[in-house]
Structures are given as structure tokens and as C-alpha cells.
Amino acid sequence: MKYDLIIAGVGGQGILSIAAAIGWAALDSGLFIKQSEVHGMSQRGGAVQSNLRISDKEIASDLIAKGSADLILSVEPMESLRYLPYLSKTGWVVSNSRPFVNITNYPDPEEVYNEIKKIDNHIIIDAEQIAKEVGNYRASNIVMLGAASPFIDIQLENLEKGIRTIFDRKGEEVVNLNLRALHAGRKFAQENKHA
């Protein structure tokens, strides 16, 4: 088993919490992982990504080769497109629909959605809306993780454990909110797969 994913977003959107949840879940599943992330200048509102690789065998490269990612999980729609050269032709794009507009030449969102829809396997999800419905818009990143979860070869209960590990110090209330977010995102994906 080998699963390569790219988590994308804008510096400050907190994509590393998604990477950490999957990372812990993979470790709990007895898998090897490598997860590279961006620190430094880009974290100031620039485009950021994390390469996350999971395998039952030892992993060599920290970076994913072009055309080989199984999934792009993006918390921002335009950012989901930036890493398309890395996506395998059979891979999935799971993207949040809410644009993060901090540049003057941000494209028309409809054009962005149309490009995402050109990828056979895609899900576009309003993660903030779903997060709000389960309690707090701040859980939107974990809604995104939930929406990607049906495609990631890790058991749901291990992802739940991963979320517990990350949010444990913030108290039971936050843990439960994020667990609800995970399930809501997962449900949306299962009902809205476009393949």
C-alpha cells in the first residue's frame, strides 16, 4: 500500500493540522510516513502545501513526483489547481469552495470551479458552511479531512484517534466538534462523489 497526497492552501489557513491528523492516524495504523511542509516566508499569506506520503514500506523521497499523487486536498479552490501536475491521472481533487482572496487578480470563482470539474474525480465542498452546521466554522479544515477520508487508505477510527491526539489539549468540547466535522465532511463526500 502506498498513498501520496498533497494538502494545499494559503499560509495561515492551518493546513498543517490536517497533515498532523493524518500523520498520527498513519502511525497508529503501523504505516510509514513522510510529511514535508513549508515554513518561512510563504507562511505570510503565500501559497503553501504539504506533501504527505503513507506506505506500508519504507519511503525514500520526502517529495512526491509529478503525476503520482493520489489526492489533492485543498482548503482553497484556486490552490487545488496549483499542484495539478503532481496529481495522478486517476487521482482525486477534494477542494473547499470558499475562495481566499488576498490578491487583486484573483480569478472569477466560477472559472476556478470549472477547472476543478474538468478533473474526473473531484469533490467541491463548502467546508465553512458544514462546519457551522456542526457547531463552529473553525472546524472547516477537519470537514475537509472528512471529505477526503473515503479516499485515504486509513481506517476512520484511526483518523478519529489522530484528531483526539491533536485537539486533546484544547478540551473535550473541541475534540467532539472536530469529530462531528470529520463525520459531516465524510458524509458529504460519500453523497457527492463525482467520478
Partner 1 sequence: MKKLLLLGAEAIAHGAIDGGMSGVYAYPGTPSTEIAEYVQRSKAAKAKGLHSKWSTNEKTAVEAALGMSYAGKRSMACMKHVGLNVAADPFMNSTITGVNGGMIVVSADDPSMHSSQNEQDSRYFGNFALMPIMEPSNQQEAYDMAYEGFEFSEKYKVPVLMRLTTRLSHSRASVDLSPARPENELSMPKDPIQFVLLPANARKRYKLLLSIYATLEKDSDSSKFNKMFNLPENEKAEMGIIACGIAYNYLMENLNGSGKSYPILKIGQYPLPKKMIGEFYNKCEKILVLEDGYPIVEESLRGLLNLDEKIKGRLDGTIPRDGELNPDIVGAALGKSSTSYFEIPDVVANRPPELCNGCGHREMFFALNVIIEEYGQNRVFSDIGCYTLGALPPFNSINSCVDMGASITMAKGAADAGLYPSIAVIGDSTFAHSGMTSLLDAVNEDSPITVIISDNATTGMTGGQESSATGKIEDICAGLGVHRDHIKVVIPFNKNHEEIVKTLREEVNYQGVSVIIARRECIQTASRAKKAEAAKAKEKK
As measured in angstroms, the least distance from the Cβ of 183 to partner 1 is 25
CA distance 40 to 132: 31
CA distance 18 to 30: 19
Output the smallest distance, CB 52 to partner 1, in A. 9
Which among 3, 77, 76, 13 has a CA at the least distance from the CA of 45? 13
- Of 124 and 184, CB closest to partner 1: 124
- Residues near partner 1 (CB under 8 A) are 10-12, 23-24, 27, 32-47, 51, 59-68, 78-79, 81-82, 84-87, 89, 102-103, 105-107, 111-112, 115, 118-119
Q: How far is the CB of 32 from partner 1 (least distance, A)?
A: 7
Q: Which residues contact 165 (CB under 8 A, 6 or more apart)?
A: 21, 24
- Please state at what angle helix 127-134 crosses helix 172-191, rounded to 10 degrees: 130
End-to-end, the C-alpha distance of the chain in Å comes to 22
State which amino acid sits at residue 75.
V
C-alpha dihedral (70, 76, 79, 83), degrees to nearest 10 = -10
Torsion of CA 159, 161, 165, 167, to 10 degrees: 70
Identity of the residue, 33 or 184, whose beta carbon is nearer to partner 1 in the bound complex: 33
Based on CB atoms, which residue is closest to partner 1, 16 or 184? 16
In the complex with partner 1, the residue whose CB is nearer, 33 or 94, is: 33
Least spacing, CB of residue 62 vs partner 1, in Å:
4
CB of 45 to partner 1, least distance (A): 4
Nearer to partner 1, 42 or 190 (CB): 42
Nearest distance in Å: CB 78, partner 1: 6
In 3D space, the residue among 17, 8, 25 whose CA is nearest the CA of residue 112 turns out to be: 8
| Closer by beta carbon to partner 1, 39 or else 191 | 39
